[in-house]
Amino acid sequence: MEKIDTAVIGGGAVGLAIASALAEKGKDLFLFEKNPYLGDEQSGRNSGVIHAGLYYRDYPLKKKLCVEGNSMLYAFCEKNNVPFSRTGKFIVAVNAEEDKMIDRYIDNACDSGAEGVKRVSPEYVRAKEPNVNVYSALISPSTGIVEAAAYIKCLELIARGKGVEVMASTKVTGITAGGAGFIVEIEEKGRKEEFTTEKLINSAGLYSDEIANMINSENAYEIIPVRGEYYCFDSSLRSELAMNGANVYPVQKPYFIDGVRHLAIGIHLTPVFDIAPGGRKIIGKKILVGPTSRAVSEKDDLEKGRSGQECFYEGVREFFPGIKAEDLKMDYAGNRAKLKGDKDFIIERDSRYSGAVNLVGIESPGLTASLAIAEFVKNILTK
């Protein structure tokens, strides 16, 4: 049985960032990813928005790690040539009732330290995005977008460069805790193997509850998969669809899981990167519309009962009145790892086996926060 120092479970943005942060010369660090491609679950199926930290007042860890992660991610992208853009974001209210939320977001921004967030007039919004029609709005200049696939690839290359053994198509099927560490059972293309490891990082996203339970059967976290579906449109189709590259969000909308109220970020408009002549990535003509928020019963169910055009049309028509349902084309979907209840990120040593760190409920803003989460985990392990 091979003996290693650290095993990271999960090859999404968070697992890869943690693996890079913990990699040390002379120490064996293995990362296990069950899928053939890295980042094929939440990390590659999101809006790619670099959040500023406007929504997390009641969630201290999300708030702290989002704000820290925001500037770390911009710096990382700049240094490593990962496509990103400081698009800025408008949150728009369409009536007086929704307008109250704008004040709340501005308070939240003061509380979290999100930079430059302020009210702007409908005329200001129209001067930037002429097809957006609003009652009132705020601007968040430090919101942006990153090309998630390029970010994942870059994290992988850095991790491998630091000596991390990245093992794709390798599923962790069992964990036995005890003694000085853990025995990790893996299955790779039908072949079973075991490793012993001193430290174990559970960054398994949608499956982090199941991995936490393998580590310690007393762990009773429950992840509810909440599907986010996207449609898209081509902003060059008609002049009423043209956009100038901002993110445009409605105020949050409530939805319920088992009677518990949650606030969805709302079906929003996000620009997507395209390749310019010469190979440079620029903001293109495609605009993503979504995501929806609906609990589903299976963690890997991305397609059953997908919503139709009408749902996305209804989501944006009040603030983007030039759109027609038939402009919208179906795009991808992703399931969020939502912890049951309405909770903050959980990032802590296992209550019984302190060599393990569980990361559970790493939903949005987990992509934004990934580099800050990695530093947070490193600090936990050095304490």
Ligand X SMILES: Cc1cc2nc3c(=O)[nH]c(=O)nc-3n(C[C@H](O)[C@H](O)[C@H](O)COP(=O)(O)OP(=O)(O)OC[C@H]3O[C@@H](n4cnc5c(N)ncnc54)[C@H](O)[C@@H]3O)c2cc1C
Give the per-residue contact string, 322-361, with ligand X (x = CB under 6 A; - = no): ------------xxx-------------------------
Which run of H or of E encompasses 209?
A: helix 208-215
For position 61 contacting ligand X by CB under 6 A, the verdict is: no
* Candidate residues 46, 87, 112, 131; the one interacting with ligand X per rule CB under 6 A: 46
Instruction: Considering the complex, state which of residue 13 and residue 92 has its C-beta at the smaller distance from ligand X.
Output: 13
Least distance in angstroms from the C-beta of 146 to ligand X: 8
Supply the minimum distance, in Å, between the C-beta of residue 96 and ligand X: 28
CB 48 within 8 A of CB 147: yes
The reply to whether 176 sits near ligand X by the rule CB under 6 A is no
Segment holding 146, helix H or strand E: strand 144-146
Q: Is 203 in the site for ligand X (CB under 6 A)?
A: yes
Q: What is the bridge-based pairing of β-strands 181-188 and 191-202?
A: antiparallel
Complex with ligand X: residue 14 or 243, whichever CB lies closer? 14
Output 70 or 235, the one with its CB closest to ligand X: 70
Contacts with ligand X by CB under 6 A: the residue count is: 42
In whole angstroms, give the CA distance from residue 353 to residue 178: 8
- Taking CA atoms, 255 is separated from 5, 103, 211, 288, in Å, by 43, 21, 28, 21
181 or 205: CB nearest ligand X = 205
Does 289 bind ligand X (CB under 6 A)? Our answer is no
> In the chain, count of helices (H) and strands (E)?
8, 22
Does 367 sit near ligand X (CB under 6 A)? Answer: yes
**Cα separation, 230 vs 242, whole angstroms:** 19
* Position with the least CB separation from ligand X: 366
* In the complex, least distance from residue 379 CB atom to ligand X, rounded to whole angstroms: 18
CA distances from 170 to 27, 34, 49, 163, 359 (A): 21, 4, 29, 18, 19
Among 271, 291, 315, 355, the residue binding ligand X under the rule CB under 6 A is: 291
User: How far is it, in rounded angstroms, from Cα 144 to Cα 135?
Assistant: 23
Please check whether residue 52 is in contact with residue 142, taking contact to mean a CB–CB distance below 8 angstroms: yes
For ligand X, which residue of 7, 8, 19, 49 counts as binding (CB under 6 A)?
A: 49
Binding of ligand X at residue 204 (CB under 6 A)?
yes
Closest to 186 measured CA to CA, from 170, 198, 200, 199: 170
Rounded to whole angstroms, how far apart are CA atoms 182 and 289?
44
Our finding on whether 315 is near ligand X (CB under 6 A) is no
- Residue 10 lies near ligand X (rule: CB under 6 A): yes
Among 29, 30, 32, 63, binds ligand X (CB under 6 A): 32
Q: Which residues bind ligand X (CB under 6 A)?
A: 9-15, 32-35, 39-43, 45-49, 51, 171-172, 203-207, 211, 228, 291, 334-336, 362-368
